[in-house]
Amino acid sequence: MNHAKFRHSAFAGVQHTVLLFMTAIACLLLALPAHADDRRVEKRVPPVYPEIAKRMHIFGIVHVEATVAPDGSVTSTKATTGNKMLSPAAEDAVKRWKFVPGDGQSTVGIDVNFEAN
């Protein structure tokens, strides 16, 4: 085998591997949501504790990921952890929150606490 031909094919293999790696990184970055941000809250709306959850003594923290528009309004919410009976109330409350306007859209993590009285 010709050594020049071997070096060329080995180099092409490395180029191909690097290209695949860079493509994978680009796809990963595009798939991730906007960066998490610590935008200040202007208006908090407390959750309505579901009556059935109160009667059943269900309490705890629901973590909600909220997408915040540049104007500070919440455009979408998704409960990621917590009791499924409390999640809709937490999402509904956070949807009505208002944040300080920012440069762009961002994702904010919020813990909504439901305490038994």
Q: Summarize the confidence of residues 92-101 as an average pLDDT.
A: 97
Distance CA 80, CA 65 (A): 7
Residue 33's pLDDT is what?
Answer: 40
Q: Are 87 and 79 in contact (CB under 8 A)?
A: yes
pTM: 0.68
Per domain, the residue ranges of the chain are 1-32, 41-114
Q: Are 60 and 79 in contact (CB under 8 A)?
A: no
The yes/no answer on whether domain 41-114 falls in CATH 3.30.565.10 is no
Residue 116's pLDDT is what?
Answer: 75
Using DSSP's 3-state secondary structure scheme, residue 111 falls into: strand
Q: Summarize the confidence of residues 77-103 as an average pLDDT.
A: 97
Token couple for 115: 């305490």
pLDDT for residue 38 is more than 80: no
